[in-house]
Amino acid sequence: MPNAAGDLDVEALNDRLAREHPIDDYYDRAPLPIRLIERRRLAIIREMLGDCAGLDLAEIGSGGGHVLRMFPRAHITAIDVSDVFLATARKNLAGYDARFLKGEVDKLDLPAASFDRIICTEVLEHTVDPEAVLAALARLLRPAGVAAITVPNDPLINRLKGLVRRTPVGHLLRDRIQWGGDVYHLHQWTPEQFGRLLSCHFRVTERRAAPHDALPIRACFRCVPL
């Protein structure tokens, strides 16, 4: 898959991802192990950010709004490049104090220090320029703010999928062994590699894993401004 900005229609790619892997189905009807991993990821994000009552909270790559639903008392900004994802987010966040912005965050004309809390979860692997996105997040976060940023541990996930494929069940499933559209990932990092990338833009105050440190499928970082 091309990874140069001139070769990639980011909006079309994410619309296709949203149609092929409906986000409501992913959270509600994915195989039980995946649902348990994702519930743990969401719990970690909630613990890292706190209640957020009365705070300005943005999610970069908001998807269907499932993460933002955990913060009913925040002033929410949902940002995504996909009309399909944003339509789902509007449905799932009905009744919330929420606004919805379409576009790539590093290209939106948002004022610096706009948010007390920022979430960017399972998104950066889909972006053309993760460094530019992280720089934008650092610019948008207020001096006393906190960001929760997570990425999949794709090197580990790919090894696990390889093991499954060598079992009788894997032989039957064949190409259906996909975890939420990870074939759309443009980048892959180990938690250590991603931590080094983050350190260029934030101070990491906490690092955790979902479902557990012994099986770090999702790497989760609590970040504050440098």
Q: Which tens digits make up the pLDDT trace of 95-107?
A: 999 999 999 999 9
CA distance to 16, 33, 48, 82, 175, per residue, from 103 (Å): 16, 32, 26, 8, 32
In this prediction, residue 180 carries a pLDDT of: 53
In this prediction, residue 17 carries a pLDDT of: 86
pTM for this prediction = 0.90
For residue 157, with 0-12 CB atoms within 10 Å meaning exposed, 13-18 middle and 19 or more buried, which class applies? middle
Q: Which residues of the chain have pLDDT under 70?
A: 1-6, 164-166, 168-181
In this prediction, residue 8 carries a pLDDT of: 81
For residue 120, with 0-12 CB atoms within 10 Å meaning exposed, 13-18 middle and 19 or more buried, which class applies? buried
Closest CA relative to residue 92, chosen from 27, 30, 16: 27
SS3 72: coil
In this prediction, residue 170 carries a pLDDT of: 52
